[in-house]
Homo-oligomer: A and B are copies of this chain.
Amino acid sequence: MSKPKAVILTHGELDSMYAKTCHGLLRGTDRYEIVGVVDYKYAGRSTTSVLPIVKDVPILASIGDCSDDGIAWCIVGVAFEGGVMPDAFRDQLIEAVKSGMSVVNGLHTQLNDDVEFMQLARSQGVEVIDIRRPKKVSELSFWTGKIKDVQAPRVAVLGTDCAIGKRTTCRFLLEQLAENGVNAQMIYTGQTGWLQGYPHGCILDSTLNDFVSGELENAVLECDQNMHPDLILVEGQSSLRNPSGPCGSEIIISLQSKYVVLQHDPSKEFFEGGEEYGFRIPDLKSEIELIRMLGAEVIAVTLRPSKDQISELDIGSMSQELGMMVQWATEAGIIAVSDLIQERVLSS
């Protein structure tokens, strides 16, 4: 089955952490064939010259520069804090619609509520998907406790902050486990997971708070029924003590996830956006202890790689101090953690 061609709009944000949606899509998606990125700042270059370890596609200055007329979709590739769409993005999306592209948008701003935009989309006969459009209460699931009937163990891939590579580590683990012949499935919890084409999950951000645990549980129940997995990886969001929106206890407690892989960035001192007010990321020992109190065991720490640190940091003594496996989230590290998961989770 051929995938529809798509470009990703980042409009000056390609190398910022807000473009993590774009970065995730360039690492891989089963839903689209990514043929370009639209970003005026890096126009003329290619993505691999700006970002490491991603699919190599050309960077264009504007939607008007997309010469391939087979491009069916324009994907908003950024996720700003608060999720409000800047006018400049909307202008580019109008160009996309005028060129006959359908639009997929993961910001909280709902294009489907934008009367002018939708009139244009209808006249062009294109689709407009707002991924974070909140579901109605009648479509939402309430938590039931049936999670206790699911035999496949849950491994949560949590992190010590937002935007430090939880989803990517989760994806790498999934691929490595598959390579080892394990039927592992991933529950996505953010818009990029949906864009990447994972079949089971929910978008926590745009779920009414009372239904977060139920939507998560329902995604696991459906995944279990449809895919008969050996184990289930659950993508984390934010972090347990991120003041801008603590998250993770639902994943441990409501999903009865007994194992955690904890993603950490040793170069970060403050929570993303928390520098001004001095909100510090807690140390790893205390985060591991907090996870234990919530009912799960951290079996490995995965570190977001940065070239300088890989040479400098002594992960051997870090591992000894924490009493568990610590690995850079690079290929060798992922293989080691994946082996550990098989050994610890599947044989128990």
Contacts and interface: CB of A to CB of B under 8 A. Distances in A.
Given A209-B209, A289-B293, 16 more contacts: A81-B142, A82-B142, A110-B137, A143-B244, A145-B274, A204-B210, A205-B209, A205-B210, A208-B209, A209-B247, A241-B253, A241-B294, A243-B256, A245-B254, A249-B249, A290-B294
Contacts of A246: 213, 249-250, 253-254
B245 A143 contact: yes
B245 A250 contact: yes
Interface in A106-148: 108-110, 134, 137, 142-143, 145, 148
A295 interface: yes
A18 interface: no
B145 A277 contact: yes
Interface string A142-158: 11010010000000000
A192 to B, nearest CB: 15
A145 B210 contact: no
A143 B254 contact: no
A206 B209 CA distance: 6
A240 interface: yes
Interface residues of A, number: 48
A308 to B, nearest CB: 29
A64 interface: no
Interface string A215-255: 00000000000000000000000001111111101100110
Contacts of A279: 145
A243 B145 CA distance: 8
Closest 4 CB pairs of A and B: A82-B142, A205-B210, A145-B277, A246-B249
Contacts of A289: 293
Contacts of A209: 204-209, 212, 245, 247
Contact of A293 (B110, B205, B286): B286
A337 to B, nearest CB: 25
A180 to B, nearest CB: 31
30 contacts: A82-B142, A84-B137, A109-B137, A110-B137, A134-B134, A143-B243, A145-B243, A145-B244, A145-B273, A145-B274, A204-B210, A205-B208, A206-B208, A207-B208, A209-B209, A209-B212, A209-B245, A210-B245, A212-B245, A214-B244, A241-B249, A241-B253, A246-B249, A246-B253, A246-B254, A286-B293, A289-B293, A290-B293, A290-B294, A293-B293
A202 to B, nearest CB: 10
A212 B238 CA distance: 13
A214 B295 CA distance: 27
Interface in A293-340: 293-295
Contact of A210 (B108, B274, B286, B295): B108
A240 B294 CA distance: 9
A273 B214 CA distance: 14
A293 B240 CA distance: 11
Nearest to A210: B205
A276 interface: yes
A4 interface: no
Interface string A268-288: 000001101111000000100
